[in-house]
Structure 1
């Protein structure tokens, strides 16, 4: 097993480096944002990887990679609440029109665009990346989930938002930290849901248990709580996948509310909204408001690789007062989630728009 770590400005650049150095058969074992705002990716490849891996080989490779990661890189302390490091000089001169075009290209609503541009303009900072990062920090909350949350995490969201794979990615992050994980699903009616969850569980050598109703979920949560000492609960996280709901259907949403309230009563469970970036800003704002009424205070953005824009997600977080937690730019389990902070967010905004100033290509090297 060949294991390497790559550091890049963003996930796309990191994946390109992995492919260039290790080939297309490489497996990305983990990824996170370091204190400087860069993406650190650990990738693995079998020495004889000259052909596609079978499902059995893929599972074995991931398991071996996770264990190798644990042996060679002891867990680091992560401090989600810490201020990000100062933004490096991006080579992009500050210009209000440039920021406005970048936010327009990301699909940000006009009021959000104007507010961020005005806030950045008051900072007297001549670097576009640094100014935008500070404006984002002042307007939004950034609160990534720790690798081992002390309370169970319940993932909620619309159909197709990627809750199940997000649960698996969160579990993979905990496995890399060397801890046991409890996985629960309440999505027992949808065709294929159980098989999908079980497949992800096999990749991580974890069992996933099902709860068909509130009583079943409470029983599993009570087992989780009783089997773990209070001081050790952060070392045995619990992630819960739920059935997708239409928040505008009163009956469906009321059922989810009862489930969330029961889980909160049983184990102080935190609902976290999983929201696809591939959606209309107005719809996402309404959706986020509904789910925030369940007690959700964090948002994980998915399918950014499909939407290629994060403006609608920013609008939803701003409208509903949700903290930006993580971002997923790939459907593949082993490639994990990237923690969001103001610098990562600013790079996403400035690094993907087409209306760039002279010298903006230096952004790729920052």
Structure 2
């Protein structure tokens, strides 16, 4: 059985996406209304049918040199074959000197790009992910950016497991001159967010590390997601294995995660894992971190910047190989 998750501003738009891709025979598994301004999330399933015609069709349409170039670039990033085919399906022949634009358009049609809705007053974000993903640094970066833009920031540490997690955030709060609250349970987090919304423009929550392959961890994350009126953001480092990235994203998406924030792009050469995660989890690609510095290296990512990143990295690899 094939399962697919759809996120859209309204229920009707999500249903239109569902019918367009899976058809009228799809079974609606679950629906979820997200936080303020975040839309809705649908999960649907359909039986996969295999037809055996007793022969192979060998006369597949020949792809252009541009298609083969993009295929090679995606393969060099260890992108899963299924994701590559989705991108190539949307890829159109470029006009003169517009390969970047054509590639970006195909990525835009394949993945969901959406900046974090930080403009909504009182919006809370839960930074979650596996161990060592860089959640605490990202929490500090987002808080720093908001403070520098003149917004009043609320900061919560829900990581009561890792030694030194709160102390690391205290170093950030001392610099930014903001207070740090600690949440030891889903209910405690919910109460903190409600209190901070009275005085803060935006709230960031540093979550503990969750093992996507441990059902108990995912159940605990789901409990946090359901209790707290906050948007969960999966923090994932670039350069990890594509299969593991996809399975991780699927697990976090099922626990309620909506966005994907990629880290360590400055320290990785292959980004297929990020593409695999966005596809498998149906996550919105929102930001990318390219530096450990708190005051720089974090910016929204869209189809054009991702296409440029993939092309540039592949060209650098080719230059290293030839030299």
Q: Scaled by the length of structure 2, what TM-score is found?
A: 0.73
Map of 1:208 onto structure 2 = 180
Distance (Å, rounded) in 1 between the aligned partners of 2:189 and 2:214: 23
The correspondence for 1:277, drawn from 235, 238, 241, is 238
Equivalent positions of 1:283-322 (< 5 A) are 283-322=244-283
Equivalent positions of 1:166-315 (< 5 A) are 166-225=138-197, 227-228=198-199, 236-263=201-228, 268-315=229-276
Distance (Å, rounded) in 2 between the aligned partners of 1:149 and 1:299: 19
Equivalent positions of 1:323-342 (< 5 A) are 323-342=284-303
Map of 2:44 onto structure 1 = none
Map of 1:12 onto structure 2 = none
- Please report how far the alpha carbon of residue 307 of structure 1 lies from its aligned counterpart in structure 2 after TM superposition: 2.1
Contact 1:98 1:357 in 2 (8 A): no
Distance (Å, rounded) in 2 between the aligned partners of 1:147 and 1:177: 11
Where 1:239 maps in the other structure, the secondary structure is: strand
- Please report how far the alpha carbon of residue 118 of structure 1 lies from its aligned counterpart in structure 2 after TM superposition: 3.9
Contact 2:236 2:274 in 1 (8 A): yes
Distance (Å, rounded) in 2 between the aligned partners of 1:213 and 1:171: 22
Distance 1:100-1:148 versus aligned 2 partners, 3 A rule: same
Distance 1:215-1:355 versus aligned 2 partners, 3 A rule: closer
Distance (Å, rounded) in 1 between the aligned partners of 2:172 and 2:78: 33
Distance 1:201-1:185 versus aligned 2 partners, 3 A rule: same
Distance (Å, rounded) in 2 between the aligned partners of 1:186 and 1:270: 15
Map of 1:160 onto structure 2 = 132
Distance (Å, rounded) in 2 between the aligned partners of 1:275 and 1:357: 26
Q: Provide the aligned length of Structure 1 versus Structure 2.
A: 254
Q: Scaled by the length of structure 1, what TM-score is found?
A: 0.65
Distance (Å, rounded) in 1 between the aligned partners of 2:249 and 2:110: 17
- Please report how far the alpha carbon of residue 148 of structure 1 lies from its aligned counterpart in structure 2 after TM superposition: 4.1
Structure (1 or 2) with the greater strand fraction: 2
Distance 1:316-1:349 versus aligned 2 partners, 3 A rule: same
Cα RMSD of the aligned pairs, angstroms, is: 2.2
Distance (Å, rounded) in 2 between the aligned partners of 1:356 and 1:157: 29
Distance 1:152-1:102 versus aligned 2 partners, 3 A rule: same
Distance 1:201-1:355 versus aligned 2 partners, 3 A rule: closer
Higher relative contact order (CA 8 A, sep 6+): 1
Distance (Å, rounded) in 2 between the aligned partners of 1:117 and 1:128: 13
- Please report how far the alpha carbon of residue 289 of structure 1 lies from its aligned counterpart in structure 2 after TM superposition: 0.7
5+ unaligned residues in a row in structure 2: which ranges?
1-64
Contact 1:105 1:354 in 2 (8 A): no
Distance 1:142-1:135 versus aligned 2 partners, 3 A rule: same
Distance (Å, rounded) in 2 between the aligned partners of 1:345 and 1:322: 15
Distance (Å, rounded) in 2 between the aligned partners of 1:215 and 1:357: 52
Contact 2:239 2:272 in 1 (8 A): no
